Structure 1
Amino acid sequence: MAQRWLDEDQQRTWRAWLSVSELLPRALDAQLQRDAGISHAAYVVMAMLSEAPDRSRRMSDLARRSNQSQSRLSHTVSRLEERGWVRRQRSAEDGRGNLAVLTDAGWDVVRTLAPGHVDAVRESVFDPLTPEQTRQLGQTLEAVLERLDPDHDLRLEDGPG
């Protein structure tokens, strides 16, 4: 069987994707480091908690929603705990699971950071695009996401930037 290589358009698109997937997190990290001294990964954890009922989620659910391993999430939550923005507690439902809870101070941080973060996302991703390109990009990413996550188990929910 002959090897199927990427054609010229696919290769150019793939390399652009690799560059964007490397440079975009750097740009978002830079904004969040400048504004609050936290990483984008930490902000995503806080945002996922801010959107949850009672601003809390099981650690296993939070790991999935923030696209972090259990170990990495544990380190992220520890750093946020040190700042008083998140706390851990046992689940009242079954007493076995651990919850991460966004504190009032953490909620204030998310509310303060969200506008700057949205601006950074808009400047980095959407300002260079026309409305039609934005629509096409959304459709394209949804098609790839459908292939990678057909059960819709790993997707971030809609919410703040």
Structure 2
Amino acid sequence: MGHRPTEAAVDAWIALMRAQQTALLKIERAFRDANLPSHAWYDVLWELERAGEAGLRPLEIERQILIAQSNISRLIDRLEEKGYVERRPCEDDGRGQRVVITSAGRDMRKRMWPVYGKAITDAVGKHLSEREALSIAALLTKLTDRGR
């Protein structure tokens, strides 16, 4: 009995997946049209900027980012090659590393934000009232670890 989803749960799942894919495609297209890196780059740079000088361990980045990223280490490699992040030894674990955003990384994230902000407005904000957006955010937060 508990393993079979309700029709409403299935409908919600389908709508959630379609909305996510539609919005992400619009956002990726906006970045591409502006000759900017992908949403994954923005997402990692944003999380690292929020973390400050302490940076984050690669596993922490993987847990924080908004999109599925199966190979975070390759993404970090590409960001490091461009000079947007740097790896530092982890003080409490000699084998571990922390990833820290550089000033070039902060500049790139700031360059990306206007494109991203407009894409969010086009994909979501134009279709929902402020109240609807807040309601959806509250409901979806229930589905994440942060909502528990």
Asked if TM exceeds 0.5, the reply is yes
Instruction: Please state how far the C-alpha of 1:34 moved relative to its aligned partner.
Output: 2.8
DSSP-derived class of the 1:144 partner: coil
The runs of 5 or more residues in structure 2 that have no matched partner are none
DSSP-derived class of the 1:136 partner: helix
Instruction: Please state how far the C-alpha of 1:124 moved relative to its aligned partner.
Output: 0.8
Aligned residue in 2 for 1:46: 45
Q: Contact (CA 8 Å) 2:86, 2:100: kept in 1 or not? A: yes
Q: Tell me the TM-score normalised to structure 2 length.
A: 0.82
Q: What CA distance in whole angstroms lies between the structure 2 residues aligned with 1:54 and 1:101?
A: 7
Aligned residue in 1 for 2:90: 91
Shift of the 5–98 alpha-carbon distance from structure 1 to 2, 3 Å rule, reads closer
Instruction: Please state how far the C-alpha of 1:60 moved relative to its aligned partner.
Output: 2.0
Report Cα offsets for 1:122-144 as digits up to 9, x if no partner. 22112211122112212211222
Instruction: Please state how far the C-alpha of 1:30 moved relative to its aligned partner.
Output: 1.6
Give the aligned residue type for 1:128.
H
Q: Tell me the TM-score normalised to structure 1 length.
A: 0.76
Q: What CA distance in whole angstroms lies between the structure 2 residues aligned with 1:18 and 1:64?
A: 20
CA RMSD of aligned residues (A): 2.7
Q: What CA distance in whole angstroms lies between the structure 1 residues aligned with 2:58 and 2:10?
A: 38
Residues 14-93 of structure 1 mapped to structure 2, 5 A cutoff: 14-54=13-53, 56-66=55-65, 72-93=71-92
1:127 aligns with 2:126: yes
Give the aligned residue type for 1:17.
L
Give the aligned residue type for 2:95.
R
Q: Contact (CA 8 Å) 2:36, 2:112: kept in 1 or not? A: no
Shift of the 95–36 alpha-carbon distance from structure 1 to 2, 3 Å rule, reads farther
DSSP-derived class of the 2:94 partner: coil
Q: Contact (CA 8 Å) 1:55, 1:102: kept in 2 or not? A: no
Q: What CA distance in whole angstroms lies between the structure 1 residues aligned with 2:133 and 2:112?
A: 24
Question: Aligned pairs, how many?
Answer: 147
Q: Contact (CA 8 Å) 1:32, 1:39: kept in 2 or not? A: yes
Give the aligned residue type for 1:6.
T
Instruction: Please state how far the C-alpha of 1:37 moved relative to its aligned partner.
Output: 3.5
DSSP-derived class of the 1:100 partner: strand
Give the aligned residue type for 1:89.
R
DSSP-derived class of the 1:117 partner: helix
